[in-house]
Amino acid sequence: MIKTDEVTLTNFQWPTGYYNDGIEMGLGVSDKLDFGYLVSEVPASAAGTYTTNKFQAAPTKLTKNTINQDHQLQAVVMNSACANSCTGKQGEQNALTEQKLMSEKLGIDLNLVGVASTGLIGAQLPMDKVTAGIEKLSPHHDDNVTKAVMTTDKKPKQACVQIKMGGKTVTITGFAKGSGMIHPKMATMLGFVTTDAGIDGELLQQTLSQNVDTTFNQITVDGDTSTNDMVVVMANGMAGAPKLASTDDADFSIFQAGLHLVLQELAKQIAADGEGATKLVECNVEGAFSDLEGQEVAKAIVGSNLVKAAIFGQDPNWGRIISTIGMTNAHVDIEHVDIEVNGIKMVEDSLGLPFDQQAASDSMGANKVVIDVNLHVGSASGQAWGCDLTYNYVKINASYHT
């Protein structure tokens, strides 16, 4: 796990050399921002991770192909309300048209523009509105673009850190959207990170992929992986710090710690804002055979519908936790598993302990519930985040289309 004690979150602000806009284009409900862009003043190193869903959406495929050419971007155009997924050749052409229109507006190369969409699967983008929307976008330094990608989100997800690299102040700022269909394997989950650090594109890709595995890929709301998941990072180097070219560079560890904290904070905010959710659930696993197995166990626990429902009902039913552990492929010493919920030890050596049931139930009424597990089979660890399963989740998703 990445140590983040060297960096702390700060108030949201854009790094040097970025601007954005978010507008209402009329794609979805009225009086809601649903279209926007994010732009760097200069070409930036870029990296991305993408959904593993076989029905990968047209904008996701286009952005992946664009970044993979030379790991550079300068702008991303994005919308909510319409995912442009499962839309065939017309959907692919619409994504290409968006890319072309944005490149012409900004006067930059076509291959420096990414495209991102989220919302209802199966609907074609209304290209007359898209064309008009691109014309209306103008440079701002507010946070409206972070609101333009929201669907069922109750609020935008934002995170920012500042670090010192080569004596220069470097800012790493990210935003994300996601509330339902969240089980990333990189739901409708989108994440965007900007930084004024300078870093080689291939190194940025390697760093992003590693850190997404322990942050965004360790959250779950409902076990569903969307067709549109994507996390994109842009690094334009405008802070003036020495450019990172290797993991051996003196400032690489602090940059990685900063990036990790931003990704982790955004991931936690998505989990906490799960559709219908009333609380964030965090699971910390220690004593695992490997970090991969620790992550597997942690994510299985926060993803269990029985565990999620028990947490909603404030029921300290540790049997649902231990049975979930037993269903994983991880190494488990079945006679030596320990479980705590909100600091209350309920299981030791795989046997239930006497504890104050009412106090435990009351503690689960907080807006965050922490489950700690020790598997006692190694020295590795894992962490994951999810939310409770409520009546409102069913209500929201029973009528999402209508």
Residues with active-site annotation: 188
pLDDT tens sequence across 345-369: 999 999 999 999 999 999 999 999 9
Q: Tokens for 12?
A: 């949201």
In 3D space, the residue among 159, 86, 71, 89 whose CA is nearest the CA of residue 117 turns out to be: 86
Q: What integer pLDDT is reported at residue 187 of this predicted model? A: 40
In a domain, 6, yes or no: no
Last residue of a domain, one of 206, 239, 270: 270
Give the global pTM.
0.84
245 and 216 assigned to the same domain? yes
* Length of the chain, in residues: 402
Q: For residue 311, give every residue at least 6 positions away whose Cβ sits within 8 Å of its Cβ, in sequence order, or none.
A: 279, 281, 364, 369, 388, 389
pLDDT tens sequence across 155-180: 899 999 999 999 999 999 999 997 54
Last residue of a domain, one of 232, 249, 270: 270
> Are 232 and 193 a contacting pair, CB within 8 Å?
yes
AA letter at 226 = S
In a domain, 99, yes or no: yes
123 and 244 assigned to the same domain? yes
298 and 255 assigned to the same domain? no
Known binding-site residues for substrate equal 151, 177, 188, 275, 397, 402
Last residue of a domain, one of 223, 243, 270: 270
Q: For residue 293, give every residue at least 6 positions away whose Cβ sits within 8 Å of its Cβ, in sequence order, or none.
A: 328, 329, 330, 331, 380, 382
Measure the CA–CA gap between 113 and 234, rounded to whole angstroms: 11
In 3D space, the residue among 143, 53, 66 whose CA is nearest the CA of residue 98 turns out to be: 66
195 and 229 assigned to the same domain? yes
- pLDDT > 90? residue 390: no
Q: How confident is the model at residue 89 (pLDDT cuts 50, 70, 90)?
A: very high
- pLDDT > 60? residue 221: no
Count of C-beta atoms within a 10 Å radius of residue 313: 14
291 and 157 assigned to the same domain? no
In a domain, 57, yes or no: yes
Count of C-beta atoms within a 10 Å radius of residue 50: 20
The two beta strands, 344-348 and 230-235, are: unpaired
294 and 216 assigned to the same domain? no
Q: What integer pLDDT is reported at residue 186 of this predicted model? A: 36
For residue 307, what are the domain limits?
A: 280-398
Q: For residue 365, give every residue at least 6 positions away whose Cβ sits within 8 Å of its Cβ, in sequence order, or none.
A: 314
Q: For residue 165, give every residue at least 6 positions away whose Cβ sits within 8 Å of its Cβ, in sequence order, or none.
A: 197, 239, 241, 242, 251, 254, 255
163 and 132 assigned to the same domain? yes
222 and 109 assigned to the same domain? yes
143 and 166 assigned to the same domain? yes
> Are 349 and 339 a contacting pair, CB within 8 Å?
no
CATH number of the domain bearing residue 54: 3.60.70.12
264 and 287 assigned to the same domain? no
